[in-house]
Amino acid sequence: MEAANHWALMVLLIVAWYAFSLHLNVVVKEALMIYPDALTLTMVQFIVAAVAGRMLQGMKLLSLPSLLPNRMGVRVLPIAVFFYLGNLCTNCALGSISVGFTHILKTLEPLCAIAITRIVLGESPSSASWFGLITILCGVGTVIISDLNFSFLGMFFALSSNIFLPLRNVYSVSLMSGETDRLSAFQLFFATTHLSALIAICIQMIRWLIVSIVTPSETPALNSVVNINLLITGLSFMAMHSTSYIILERLQPITHAIMNCFKRAFIIFGSALVLGTGLSVSQIVGIGLALTGLYVYSRAKKMQGGMKTWPVSKVIMCVSVITFAISLLTASDGTFSHNPIVKSKTLSSVYMQKLNGNLGVIGSALPHVLRKADMMHDFPNPFAPTIHFLWLHPIPMTDTALRNVIDLASYANTVVHCGSEECEAQIGSMKQEGMAVMSRTLVVPEICRDTPLYGWTRKHVFYKLRAGPNYQKQLTQVVAMCVLYKMGGIYVDNSVALDANLDLTKLPKGPWVSDQLGLFHVSHFPPNHELLLNMMDNYVPNYPPWWYKGTQWPSVYDFVDVVKADGTKLKTVNVAELGFVSRPVILPAGMRQYATMKYNLRNITQGINLGDEIQTFGGIQFLPHIDHFVTRDLLHTYKFDNNVTFFINAWIGDKRFDWPYQLYMDPIMVAIHLASHRYINSTKKIQYLKSKAPIGARDLKTLERLNNETIPSYFSGCATILTQNPYDREERPKTIYIIDVWKESDKLMRILPDEVSRDIIDVTHGPQFSGIKFDNIGRFLYSADLVFEKYAKARAIITQRIHAAMPSVGLGVPVIFFGNTTLPGGGADRLSGLTKMWHFFDAMENEEELKVRMKELFGNNGPHGNPNPELQHRIKNDLFSHILSQHTKELRNAAQMYGVIKKGAQFDPIAVEFNSDNLTQPPDPGLMNVSYKDTHPH
User: Which SS3 state, helix, strand or coil, does residue 876 take?
Assistant: helix
One-letter amino acid for residue 789 of the chain: E
Report the percentage of the chain scoring pLDDT > 70: 66
Note the pLDDT of residue 932: 25
Angle at the Cα of 503 from the Cα atoms of 500 and 504, rounded to 5 degrees: 140
The secondary structure element, H or E, covering residue 129 is: helix 127-146
Q: Answer whether 791's CB lies under 8 Å from 737's CB.
A: yes
The secondary structure element, H or E, covering residue 823 is: strand 822-823
- Write down the mean pLDDT value for the chain: 76
Note the pLDDT of residue 276: 53
Q: What mean pLDDT do residues 395-411 have?
A: 91
User: How far is Cα of residue 208 from the mean position of the Cα atoms in its chain?
Assistant: 32
**Burial class of 456 by CB neighbour count within 10 A (0 to 12, 13 to 18, 19+):** buried
Report residue 263's pLDDT band, with 50, 70 and 90 as the boundaries. confident
Q: Which residues pair with 415 in a beta bridge?
A: 388, 438
Q: Which residues pair with 388 in a beta bridge?
A: 415, 491
Cβ neighbours, 10 Å, residue 669? 22
Report residue 106's pLDDT band, with 50, 70 and 90 as the boundaries. low
Four-residue CA torsion sign, 317, 319, 320, 326 = positive
Q: Answer whether 611's CB lies under 8 Å from 765's CB.
A: yes
Q: What mean pLDDT do residues 670-695 have?
A: 93
Task: Give exposure, 367-399, as e/b (b: 16+ Cβ within 10 Å).
Answer: bbbbbbebbeeebeebebbbbbbbbbbbbbbbe
Cα(532)–Cα(353) distance, integer angstroms: 20
How much is the pTM?
0.63
- The alpha carbon torsion through 823, 825, 826, 830 (nearest 10 deg) reads -80
Note the pLDDT of residue 261: 65
Cα(704)–Cα(712) distance, integer angstroms: 11
Alpha helices in 761-919 (DSSP H): 776-785, 802-811, 847-858, 869-880, 889-897
pLDDT tens digits, 918-930: 333 333 323 322 2
Specify whether the backbone of 333 is left (phi greater than 0), alpha (psi in -120 to 50) or beta: left
Report the percentage of the chain scoring pLDDT > 90: 27
Q: How many residues does the chain have?
A: 938
DSSP states along 363-387: S--S-HHHHHHHTTTT-SSTTS-EE
Note the pLDDT of residue 317: 44
Cα(428)–Cα(184) distance, integer angstroms: 58
The yes-or-no verdict on residue 766 having pLDDT over 90 is no
Cα(718)–Cα(835) distance, integer angstroms: 12
Note the pLDDT of residue 810: 93
The yes-or-no verdict on residue 366 having pLDDT over 50 is no
Note the pLDDT of residue 892: 94
Alpha helices in 594-675 (DSSP H): 600-606, 611-614, 617-620
User: How far is Cα of residue 671 from the mean position of the Cα atoms in its chain?
Assistant: 30
DSSP class of residue 773 equals T
Cα(857)–Cα(216) distance, integer angstroms: 61
Contacts of 333 by beta carbon, 8 Å cutoff, 6+ apart: none
DSSP states along 73-107: HHHHHHHHHHHHHHHHHHHHHHHHS-HHHHHHHGG
- The alpha carbon torsion through 532, 533, 537, 538 (nearest 10 deg) reads -30
| Lowest-pLDDT range of 270-279, 543-552, 597-606 | 543-552
Q: Give me the phi and psi of 667, to 5 degrees please.
A: -80, 150
Note the pLDDT of residue 660: 93
DSSP states along 395-410: SPPPHHHHHHHHHHHT
Report residue 66's pLDDT band, with 50, 70 and 90 as the boundaries. low
Report residue 361's pLDDT band, with 50, 70 and 90 as the boundaries. very low
pLDDT tens digits, 472-526: 888 998 999 999 998 889 999 888 888 878 877 777 777 888 876 556 688 888 8
Q: Answer whether 321's CB lies under 8 Å from 194's CB.
A: no
The yes-or-no verdict on residue 771 having pLDDT over 90 is no
Q: Of the candidates 340, 232, 216, which has an alpha carbon nearest to the alpha carbon of residue 276? A: 340
Angle at the Cα of 718 from the Cα atoms of 713 and 723, rounded to 5 degrees: 130
Cα(211)–Cα(882) distance, integer angstroms: 53
Note the pLDDT of residue 328: 39
Query: Secondary structure of 271-297 in the HEC alphabet?
Result: HHHHHCCCCEHHHHHHHHHHHHHHHHH
